Structure 1
Amino acid sequence: MTVKYYAILTNQGAARLANATMLGSKLNLTQMAVGDANGVLPTPDPAQTKLINQKRIAPLNLLSVDPNNQSQIIAEQIIPENEGGFWIREIGLYDDEGVLIAVANCPETYKPQLQEGSGRTQTIRMILVVT
């Protein structure tokens, strides 16, 4: 079976990570965005500088190194129940300068609005493998 859902570093993200590693500094990941990719499951592209059709961007709720695998970075954002009304098919991770560092696709899910008669808090998680 072929891998269908995955996250990659963008070209700018890979360059910024390499530069931070070389200088011994940190890459400050601060925000996560979600989008609907205009109704089609996207293929993450390292040349991307933005999501195809961004629906929401907000600060990360969690950024940590996986305690069981030091080469995995876990980024999470919680979308509250009072926000929604859109499909989620793409995820982007941004640094403190607004540069898209990583992009992912995900199984499509609908995030309802309370006005539609349904609401839920939803956690969006991106796991990046870095070496």
Structure 2
Amino acid sequence: MSDYRTYITQTGFVLERDATLNNTFIDYAVLVVGDGILPDSSSPASQTDLINPIREYGIVIENDPNDASVWIARAQIPASDGGFTINEVGIKTASGDLYAYARQAGDYKPLLEEGQGKSYTIRLKFIPGNAEVMQVKIDPSVLFATPMDLENLTTLINANFVRMARAHVSTMHRQIQQEFRLLEIEK
């Protein structure tokens, strides 16, 4: 049975150590997807690169709101990109070092020309060896809305709609009352 957990690589632990010694953060740059298959007998932590990297995507890294020890890396694969199978994923730094590696289930990402367009969100959860060297990373070209974000926005829109509707009805009611008063005066 395959192990789909995300592993900090040996290089990743060295990066964490160096960041700690230099009082800096790890500079994450991209999430890389590949179609290579890491054998179950091989350790993801010993990977220095993906077996067969295919594409790189902008990355968002943030702390898990439900567990402070867990971090989440996300990247969006647009519907317009495809024609490959996703068997492996990695997080790379700006200098090209592989910080983390995860096997994937082998999802095929179709091309639009094949008659189907799917956008994928790759989401990796991981626990760094040293959370102090972690920093939230937001790639401005990558935008995400979580279900909670959408729920909060819907609640806000509904509340504003109700408030505006009540104000409008109240204004209309006053105008109608004023019109009736004017009609009474004219009689």
TM-score interval (norm. to shorter): 0.7 to 0.9
Code of the residue aligned with 2:22 in structure 1: it is L
User: 5+ unaligned residues in a row in structure 1: which ranges?
Assistant: none
TM-score, normalization by structure 2: 0.63
After TM superposition, give the deviation of residue 23 of structure 1 in Å: 3.1
User: 5+ unaligned residues in a row in structure 2: which ranges?
Assistant: 130-187
Pair 1:116–1:41, CA change in 2 (3 A): farther
Any conservation in 1 of the 2:86–2:108 contact (CA below 8 Å)?
Answer: yes
Alpha-carbon distance in 2 for matches of 1:97, 1:41? 23
Q: Which residue of 2 aligns with 1:11?
A: 10
Q: 2:52 aligned with 1:53, yes or no?
A: yes
Q: Which has the higher contact order (CA 8 A, sep 6+)?
A: 1
Q: Which residue of 2 aligns with 1:102?
A: 100
Which residue of 61, 69, 81 maps to 1:63? Answer: 61
Q: Which is worse superposed, 18-27 or 40-49?
A: 40-49
Alpha-carbon distance in 1 for matches of 2:19, 2:50? 24
Q: Which residue of 2 aligns with 1:34?
A: 33
Which residue of 81, 84, 99 maps to 2:82? Answer: 84
Q: Which has the higher strand share?
A: 1
Alpha-carbon distance in 2 for matches of 1:91, 1:3? 14
After TM superposition, give the deviation of residue 110 of structure 1 in Å: 0.7
Alpha-carbon distance in 1 for matches of 2:44, 2:128? 17
Aligned-residue CA RMSD in angstroms?
1.7
Any conservation in 2 of the 1:41–1:108 contact (CA below 8 Å)?
Answer: no
Pair 1:29–1:82, CA change in 2 (3 A): same
Identity score, percent: 35
SS of the equivalent of 1:46 reads helix
Alpha-carbon distance in 1 for matches of 2:22, 2:44? 27
Q: Which is worse superposed, 111-120 or 51-60?
A: 51-60
Q: Which has the higher helix share?
A: 2
Larger Rg: 2
Residues paired across the two proteins, number: 127
Code of the residue aligned with 2:57 in structure 1: it is A
After TM superposition, give the deviation of residue 41 of structure 1 in Å: 5.4
